[in-house]
Structure 1
Amino acid sequence: MKFINAVAKVMQNLGNHRFGKCNICGSPTVFLCIDVFSVRNNMYCPFCRSSSRKRHVAKILINEVLPTSKAIADVAKNQSLTIYNTDVDDAFYQILHHQNSYICSTFSPEVKPGTEIRPGVFCQDLENLTFDNESFDVVITEDVFEHVRNHERGLREIHRILKVGGYHIFTVPCNFDCATIVRVDTSGKEDIHLLPPEYHGDRIRGKILAYRTFGIDIYELLENIGFTTKVDFSNYLDQKNGIFDSYIFCSQKL
């Protein structure tokens, strides 16, 4: 049924598909539009199933770390680059999971953090990562930190496991014209809702609570932790790689 629904949506949006080249798998392709109102989260490459958002992450990774590469598939030629991704079974995993220097994680309260669930996939709690200090050149998190109860602790853990000069490439919902909106008071052991609960769709859990919507003060927070941060907003030229209507944070460990 899901496949039939997806095909129907592809047919409904024929005028919104775009030709281009995927910067993850490297294939010339047609980026398939499923939902014109949320192109950031679709415009799928049929070869690696990457979305617009994920290809934007790839763009920053290539620009900052692999400037001579055209696609993430080229990372296979750089055995020394260590990457930790908090997404599992995505397009990056499809291309890189054979690399010993690429690992990813999920979280399950029933599994002890640090347990290797299958080769290259670990159970991890972002607030208490089990990796050694300065283990990675790159950490990738996509739409994760709005769901981390103690986000500052989690960001400090990312800083700890990154090598000096390493990059945290990430996405979070952010209002750049106001301060962070705190939805849940997490100062005690129990959550206290300050606003009506907001849940986001989650591929594994179905839905997951959003503790906050970040604001312009995220820059100060990241600076205090020890990062220098910039944001890349998608532009017209990015459309050749199927990147639409998104922004990516790139924090470098000083």
Structure 2
Amino acid sequence: MKKAFKFVLNTIPRPLLIRLSYVVRPIMTIALKGDTYTDPIDGKGFKSFLPYGYGTQRNNVLSPSTLSLERHRLLWLYLKNETDFFTTAKKVLHFAPEQAFYKRFRALKHLDYTTTDLLSPLADVKADICNLPFKDNSFDVILCNHVLEHIPDDTKAMQELYRILKPGGMGILQIPQDLSREVTFEDDTITDKKERAKIFGQYDHVRVYGRDYFNKLRSIGFKVEEVDYTATLSNSEIEKYCLAKGEIIPVVYK
């Protein structure tokens, strides 16, 4: 199964993967039903989660029911327990909307919810993150998770995100991050897809962010909170929800 998943992830375009998942997901949800692990997004239990990864494959991380990964489940718990996202009227912009969230956020009647991306079939607005078609100070909340590592000019993208966020607004700007690295790593001379997947975690990533990511956001103008939400959870909760202990949620404000 591990080799099959890796082959599928590395050969099938993401828009097609999204469509195929609607067929495969119900089958896997039934096949892996159990009580060892729980997806907090829908509350369903499983005897195991699925493997996932482009470069190095990680075991037991992909929820069969919501297709959430560690970062999605962590973000859900943070938004649910520590913010008023699920209770207060907000104008929300969601980049590259994840399936784990898309229908659930769309169903929240108190949200004015807009999705955007260049390629995703789930996007309401097809747009370039470096040249967004939105007015200044437009959104109360911006969700932009695992997008910036794909963008060559991430400085321009961050400036656009800052521009369209309302004063007092909140953004969640998650990225794949190597916290042991002080400085972000980029190397455009590496062109082989397999080598890029090995080094950058995915063939279409243009950098590996280090701890300097937070200060780069601050240099744009954001107030940044480096939230280690797993530090507030017990080890049993981290294991039950299959979270990555120590993962930082970059929460920004304008």
Q: Same fold (TM over 0.5)?
A: yes
Q: Is the 8 A contact 1:83 1:101 kept in 2?
A: yes
Match of 1:58 in 2: 76
**1:1-254 equivalent positions in 2, closer than 5 A:** 3=24, 7=28, 18-20=36-38, 22=40, 24-25=41-42, 27=43, 29-30=45-46, 32-35=48-51, 38=58, 41-42=61-62, 44=63, 46=65, 48-66=66-84, 75=86, 77-78=87-88, 80-88=89-97, 90-98=99-107, 99=109, 101-108=112-119, 121-177=124-180, 178-184=182-188, 193=189, 198-199=196-197, 209-229=204-224, 230-232=226-228, 234-235=230-231, 237=234, 238-239=237-238, 242-245=241-244, 247-254=247-254
Amino acid at match of 2:252: Q
Q: How many residues align?
A: 215
Alpha-carbon distance in 1 for matches of 2:75, 2:47 = 16
Q: Is the 8 A contact 1:167 1:250 kept in 2?
A: no
Unaligned runs of 5+ in 1: 67-71, 112-116, 185-192, 201-206
Alpha-carbon distance in 2 for matches of 1:216, 1:40 = 26
Alpha-carbon distance in 1 for matches of 2:229, 2:60 = 12
**TM-aligned CA deviation for residue 60 of structure 1:** 2.6
Judging changes above 3 Å, is the alpha-carbon distance between structure 1 residues 124 and 97 closer, same or farther for their aligned structure 2 residues?
same
Instruction: Name the % identity.
Output: 20
1:203-224 deviation per Cα after TM superposition (whole angstroms, max 9, x unaligned): xxxx752111111221221111
Alpha-carbon distance in 1 for matches of 2:98, 2:212 = 32
SS in 2 for 1:244: coil
Match of 1:190 in 2: none
Unaligned runs of 5+ in 2: 6-23
Alpha-carbon distance in 2 for matches of 1:83, 1:52 = 22
Amino acid at match of 1:244: L
Q: Is the 8 A contact 1:136 1:166 kept in 2?
A: yes
SS in 2 for 1:167: strand
Aligned CA-pair RMSD? 3.7
**Larger strand percent:** 1
Q: Is the 8 A contact 2:73 2:243 kept in 1?
A: no
Amino acid at match of 1:83: V
Alpha-carbon distance in 2 for matches of 1:240, 1:147 = 30
